[in-house]
Each structure stands twice: as C-alpha cells, then as structure tokens.
C-alpha cells in the first residue's frame, strides 16, 4: 500500500478523472433536474410532479397540502420540505393553483402556514391547459413503481406567464413573468406572422423601465420602482413595491438610509394588509422630489434586475430570448392541439362505427340469427355475412370483436330501440367528424381560436399590474442630501467631521471636492470625514454634478518664459488624479486665477498687467480682458499676454456697453493649439516666489499676485 499522501502521488489511481466525472454528472443533474425549467411546458421537475400528483388526486375539492406533498413523494426523490416549498411558491404565482388558508404574502414576505393547515386544488385554467393523458409522453418514476409525464402537454406559454428563477452549477436562470393577455396577443400575432413585443408584468405591481430589456436575453437590464404617491407634501405613501422585494425589506432599507444620514424623515408606518400601504412622514418644508430620488437611490424602492433566459431544449441548457421561448411554446401548443384533434377524430369515428353497426343490426333484424342458430361460431359468421352488404363504405372493416359486441346488446335495448334517435345521434357524430377534419385542415386558425377562447374565459382575472414607463437614472451622488458642512482648518485638512475650521459650504457624505493648489494643480476628491488638501490653495469647494464652471488663469511658463492666459472648463476627470493647469515647466508661477459659474462674456473679467523695470513713460499697465478668449480645454497652453517680465497683475474695472465696443490693445499671437506633452502633464515644480493667499473660500473670485 502506498503511504504517500494522495496530493503527492504521481498517479493517484485516476482519482482526478473520477472526481471530474462525478462533478460533471452532478452539474448535469442540477441543471436538468432541479434549477432550469423545460422550454416546452415551462416547469422544473418538482413542479411537474406536484401538478401531476394534484391531477391524480383531483376530485373538485380542496386537498390538504400535506397530502399532496405525500403523494408527490412517489415521483420526486427529495424530501417533503423541498416539495412543500415548491408547492407554496407555485401557488403564490396565482395561476395554476386555487389556495385556501394562509399561504403567506408576497407583499410582506410572511411565510405560509404549515402544510397540514393549508389546502389546494388545481385551478380551472390549469385543468384546461395542462393535462391531456392521451397525448402525454410517459416514463417510469425513480423507483420504477409509477408513471410520470416526461413533460406536460401544456397548451399555453406557461414559462413566460409564471417566470422562473434558478441557480445551477456554472449558470443561473431568471426569466421574468409576463402578462396573461399580452402573451395571448403575442401568440396570435406570431401565428399571423405579425410583429410583437413582450415586456414583464409583476404581481407586486410598481413601475418598470424596460428600455434595456433586450428580449430578456443575457445582458438585459431592467429597473423596477415602487409606486410612490406624492400628492400629500407632508407624507409619502408607497402603494406598490418593486419586483422580488417586500414591505419589510423596503422599510429596513429606509431605516438604514436614515441612520446613515442619506434621507431625512420623521417616522415611517406600515399599514400593509391586502395591499401595500407604507406611510413616510416628512419634516416641514421638505423637498418631496429630492426625498423620492433619495428613496430610489439609497433604498429598495428601486431595484435593478438582470434577466437571463436559460431553458432546457433537447436535454441541454440553451440561452435564448423570450420571443424564441414564445415561438417554441406556441408551436408546441399547435402540435398538442393537432394530436388532440387526431385522437378526437379517431374516437368519433369509432363511436360512429359502433352506432352505425348497432343501427343496422337492430333495424335489419340481424339479431334473429341468434335465435335460429345453435352454434356460436356459425352465428358470428352469419351475422358478419348479413352485415357485409351494409358496411361497404364504412371507415374500416368489421372485426370479430365488433360482431361480439353486437351480440352483447340486451333484449331490453333492442325492444326500446328508437330509429329516429339513433339516426339523429349518428348525424351529430358525422357533423363532429366533419368539424374536426376542418379544424385539422385549418390548424393555425384553430390554434388562434383556442387562444382567443382562453382570453375570453380567463383574461379578466389577470390585468396588467406593472406600469411601463421610462425614468432617468438617479445616482447616489445626485440623490444624497446635503446635510453636512465642508470645513477647512489651518493645518491643511478638510472634511465634514472636523471639529475646528472654517465652513466652506453645504455638502453630503458622497460629494466631490475640487481643489487647485498654488502651483496650479487641479484635483477632484471624494469627500471624507477628514483628508489633507494642503495649506496653500487657489480654490477649494464642493463640485456638484450640475456645475459647469469656467476658469480664468494667467501664468508664467518657467522662470523666464512668457506669460499665458487661458479660459477653460473642467471637462472629464478621474478622482484622485492630479491635473496641472500650466505646462509643468520648473519655476512656473500663477499670477492670476478666478472662477465663474457661467461662460457669458459679461461674466469674464479684465486685469491690469504690470511689467518689471519699466521706464517712467511706460508706467501704464497692459489691460487684458478675458472676454476676448475662447473657452477651451484645461490642457491648452493659452494665449500669450506678454514676453516681458511681469511684476504683478491686478483686477481692472472696465465698462461693458453693448453699443460701445471695448477698445483694448491687441493680443499677442496665440500659442494655445498645442496640447501638453506627457512630461508636461506631470506635477509641476514649486513656483518661484509668489505668496499664496492665506484665507481660501469656495468660489474665490480671483487671485491677484
């Protein structure tokens, strides 16, 4: 015996192959027998066995769920717990099972009572569309003692009506439920070669944005929202909940958001009974729209769904869309209807045959042969000979069994036989045969009439519950309530949890903070309770999604380079990444900086540029107006202001009259078309001298150096 550990053996007797084979067998079993529904009848094996057991037990009355579970165990190899939970889930879909007792509540998440206390029976719809033993394919149960259906002959797109959810090995399935009447309309459209579109419909109602549904295939996206009544400005009322959520889960998510400061409310009440009724009381003067957006962003009032249609086709899982599933179901319905018509035609033909033979046997008094003959075989032969002239055009030849059946007719029936009634019955059978033949010849039209009949009988029970609409994406940053304050202290720290510091403005715990330091490096950070920004800043403030500021900047490129001016917008950015606003040359210096909320020319400012070492006759500064610059990206070099050394720059006051053009010295040639090189994008070196302002405030109007 080899004492070497298995993981160290060169060939541990094929154990790797054995485990690989076992795993594949297990994965196949889970996919085919537990998690993924069949494409044709839309049922998982446990659901199919439950419905088959209920059909066997059906006598029109309710049966205890415990009895149904026990009978199902003759077909299903798992315990009563899995069968019971599957039966409750099937009943809560409100389609195939009539329920009696406490079956739980899909709105609140309450569980059902014990199986011995609740009762169930097949619905009228289930009896009509699920079962047809004469056209069902059967197989032996797992213990070989009973027969069970391979698939039920379902004559309706049941899978799309109920939906399905399952997790298998290496794959998952999530098929959305759809509206009963819309499925019938789509089936009729498909049979008539007309276009159709299907969208989900949920028992819990709510709002649904199906713009990304993509036929329910892999990669689809849905957004489901609660229906919130905002007519009362002091109290919001949730009337319907999103798909696969409950009032209990929604309330818990709202309370969690309140604790984290995402939403401000006074209190919440749950009055849900047969219908959802959650009351959210608001503080005075609350913005209802903002609170609704916060509910959608931070709670389960809005959920995202990723449908993935996986079904079993020919004993293997297949990824397809709901349109393809509908086509498979409708084609299968048509096939089952054809098989049922053929069975019916054969039965009608047999009934006509027996009724016609009986009529001839009695009307022509052929039964007298039995009185005149003592030999049984001879009597049968003579009856056959006497029948032969009248059965030339029959559907089939007369057999010995047919003759024996005639001899078994009682004398009482012969004595009371009414020829007119017999002829009327035969005529009725002939009409039924002709009608059945017409239906077979026009099978598509017959299938359409079948679906129309279902809609007429049952359509009123299942109106659309979910409202289809389109709504904008509400991000958490947009919906965050600005109930915090951004502070900046003397040590260069900022945040909303500082105990000391100057307040810079209102913010939320998810806001972005824009900073520009004295070297002209711009950075956007996600706000924190406390973070370091530096002591020398040109600007710090909260950056909101709707903000689109315009920046004015004059800087010197290097120690002895020219001065450039530019107007730019923030543009796209990555958080925590440094963006130099100069060219990054060592010794560069910022002479002037300002920011405005709008980009109109009137919002731009003018400055006086004072040069160094000027003669007395040239003491007049250069007037520079930012309104003459076009707004560009932040990485451009800018327009040349002057190539002479600059001493300082100060704000200038000039008049802007629409009827009097502003006369300014001509600008130097523009050099702003070249983007910065990768080297220039690096953090710039410290500037040469200029002292940065000590008091920094949000929206700083300008920096004069």
Q: Give the whole-angstrom CA distance, residue 268 versus residue 282.
A: 9
Q: Distances from the Cα of 322 to the Cαs of 44, 183, 218, 310, 325, in angstroms?
A: 17, 11, 11, 10, 5
Contact 144, 74 (CB under 8 A): no
Q: Give the whole-angstrom CA distance, residue 511 versus residue 496.
A: 10
Assign 534 to helix, strand or coil: coil
Q: Give the whole-angstrom CA distance, residue 352 versus residue 308.
A: 52
Contact 97, 91 (CB under 8 A): yes
Q: Distances from the Cα of 93 to the Cαs of 35, 161, 454, in angstroms?
A: 17, 9, 18
Residue found under tokens 């199906």? 210
Contact 557, 638 (CB under 8 A): no
Gyration radius of the chain over CA positions? 42
Q: Give the whole-angstrom CA distance, residue 650 versus residue 244.
A: 63
Contact 164, 175 (CB under 8 A): yes
Q: Distances from the Cα of 349 to the Cαs of 185, 353, 360, 456, in angstroms?
A: 35, 6, 16, 31
Assign 358 to helix, strand or coil: helix
Q: Give the whole-angstrom CA distance, residue 511 versus residue 525.
A: 9
* Nearest residue to 540 via CA among 684, 686, 690, 700: 700
Crossing angle of helices 443-458 and 180-191, rounded to 10°: 170
Bridge pairing between strands 310-313 and 316-319: antiparallel
Residues 6+ apart with CB under 8 A from 663: none
Helix extents (H) in 164-321: 180-191, 247-259, 288-298
Beta strands in 20-96 (DSSP E): 63-64
User: Which one from 117, 142, 196, 539 is the annotated catalytic residue?
Assistant: 117
Q: Give the whole-angstrom CA distance, residue 426 versus residue 690.
A: 114
Residue found under tokens 């039995």? 370
Bridge pairing between strands 550-556 and 563-569: antiparallel
Contact 466, 202 (CB under 8 A): yes
Q: Which long-range contacts (CB under 8 A, 24 or more apart) does 247-254 make?
A: 247/107, 247/108, 247/109, 247/272, 247/276, 247/278, 248/108, 248/109, 249/109, 249/300, 250/226, 250/278, 250/299, 250/300, 250/301, 251/278, 253/298, 253/299, 253/300, 253/301, 254/280, 254/295, 254/299, 254/301
Query: Is residue 255 classed exposed, middle or buried when 0-12, 13-18 and 19+ CB atoms within 10 A define those classes?
Result: middle
Q: Distances from the Cα of 97 to the Cαs of 51, 79, 85, 283, in angstroms?
A: 9, 21, 14, 46
Full 3-state SS string of 439-458 = HHHCHHHHHHHHHHHHHHHH
Residues 6+ apart with CB under 8 A from 640: 562, 563, 564, 667, 668, 669, 670, 671
Around 288, how many Cα atoms within 13 Å sit in the side-chain half-sphere? 12
Give catalytic status of residue 117 as yes or no: yes
Sign of CA dihedral 204, 67, 52, 452: negative
Q: Give the whole-angstrom CA distance, residue 549 versus residue 561.
A: 28
| Catalytically annotated residues | 117
């Amino acid at each position: 015996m080899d004492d070497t550990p298995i993981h160290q053996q060169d060939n541990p007797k094929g154990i790797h192959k054995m485990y690989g084979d076992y795993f594949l067998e297990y994965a196949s079993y889970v996919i085919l027998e537990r998690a993924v529904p069949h494409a044709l009848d839309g049922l998982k094996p446990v659901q199919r066995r439950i419905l088959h057991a209920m059909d066997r037990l059906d006598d029109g009355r309710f049966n205890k769920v415990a009895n149904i579970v026990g009978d199902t165990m003759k077909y299903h190899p798992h315990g009563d717990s899995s069968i019971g939970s599957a039966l409750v889930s099937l009943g809560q879909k409100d389609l195939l099972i009539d329920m009696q007792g406490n079956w739980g509540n899909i709105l609140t998440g309450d569980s059902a009572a014990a199986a011995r206390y609740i009762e169930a029976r097949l619905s009228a719809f289930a009896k009509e569309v699920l079962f047809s033993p004469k056209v069902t394919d059967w197989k032996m149960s797992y213990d070989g003692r009973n027969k069970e259906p391979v698939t039920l002959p379902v004559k309706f797109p049941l899978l799309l009506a109920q939906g399905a959810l399952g997790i298998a090995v290496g794959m998952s399935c999530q098929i959305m439920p759809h509206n009963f009447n819309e499925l019938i309309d789509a089936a009729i459209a498909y049979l008539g070669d007309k276009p159709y579109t299907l969208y989900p419909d949920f028992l819990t109602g709510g709002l649904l944005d199906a713009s990304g549904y993509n036929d329910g295939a892999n990669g689809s996206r849905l957004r489901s929202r609660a229906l919130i009544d905002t007519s009362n400005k002091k109290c919001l009322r949730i009337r319907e909940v999103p798909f696969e959520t409950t009032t209990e889960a929604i309330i818990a998510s709202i309370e969690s958001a309140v604790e984290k400061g995402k939403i401000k409310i006074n209190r919440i009440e749950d009055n849900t009974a047969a219908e959802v009724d959650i009351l959210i009381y608001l503080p005075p003067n609350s913005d209802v729209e903002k609170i609704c957006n916060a509910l959608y962003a931070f709670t389960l009032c809005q959920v995202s769904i990723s449908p993935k249609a996986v079904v079993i086709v020919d004993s293997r899982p297949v990824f397809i869309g709901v349109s393809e599933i509908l086509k498979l179901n409708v084609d299968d319905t048509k096939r089952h209807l054809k098989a049922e018509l053929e069975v019916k035609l054969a039965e009608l033909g047999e009934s006509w045959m027996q009724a016609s033979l009986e009529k001839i046997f009695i009307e022509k008094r052929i039964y007298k042969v039995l009185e005149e003959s003592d030999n049984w075989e001879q009597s049968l032969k003579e009856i056959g000979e006497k029948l032969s002239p009248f059965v030339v055009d029959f559907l089939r030849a007369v057999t010995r069994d047919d003759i024996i059946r005639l001899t078994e007719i009682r004398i009482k029936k012969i004595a009371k036989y009414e020829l007119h009634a017999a002829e009327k019955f035969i005529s009725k059978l002939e009409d039924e045969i002709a009608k059945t033949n017409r239906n077979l010849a026009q099978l598509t039209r017959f299938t359409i009439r079948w679906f129309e009949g279902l809609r007429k009988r049952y359509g009123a029970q299942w109106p659309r519950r979910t409202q289809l609409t389109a709504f904008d994406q509400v991000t958490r940053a947009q919906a965050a309530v600005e109930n915090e304050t951004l502070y900046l202290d003397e040590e260069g720290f900022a945040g909303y949890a500082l105990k000391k510091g100057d307040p810079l403005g209102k913010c939320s715990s998810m806001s972005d903070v824009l900073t520009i330091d004295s070297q002209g490096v711009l950075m956007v950070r996600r706000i924190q309770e406390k973070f370091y920004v530096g002591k020398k800043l040109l600007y710090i403030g909260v950056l909101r999604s709707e903000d689109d500021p315009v920046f004015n900047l004059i800087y010197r490129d290097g120690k002895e380079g020219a001065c450039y001016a530019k107007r730019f917008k923030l543009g796209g950015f990555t958080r925590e990444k440094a963006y130099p606003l100069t060219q990054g040359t060592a010794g560069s210096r910022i002479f002037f900086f300002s920011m405005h909320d709008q980009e109109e020319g009137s919002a731009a400012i003018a400055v006086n540029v004072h040069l160094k070492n000027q003669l007395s006759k040239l003491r007049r500064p250069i007037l520079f107006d930012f309104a003459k610059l076009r707004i560009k990206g932040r990485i451009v070099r800018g327009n040349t202001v002057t190539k002479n050394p600059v001493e300082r720059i100060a704000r200038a006051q000039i008049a802007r009259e629409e009827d009097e053009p502003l006369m300014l010295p001509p600008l130097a040639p523009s050099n702003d078309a070249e983007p910065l090189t990768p080297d220039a994008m690096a953090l710039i070196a410290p500037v040469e001298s200029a002292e940065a302002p000590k008091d920094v405030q949000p929206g700083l109007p300008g920096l004069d150096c």
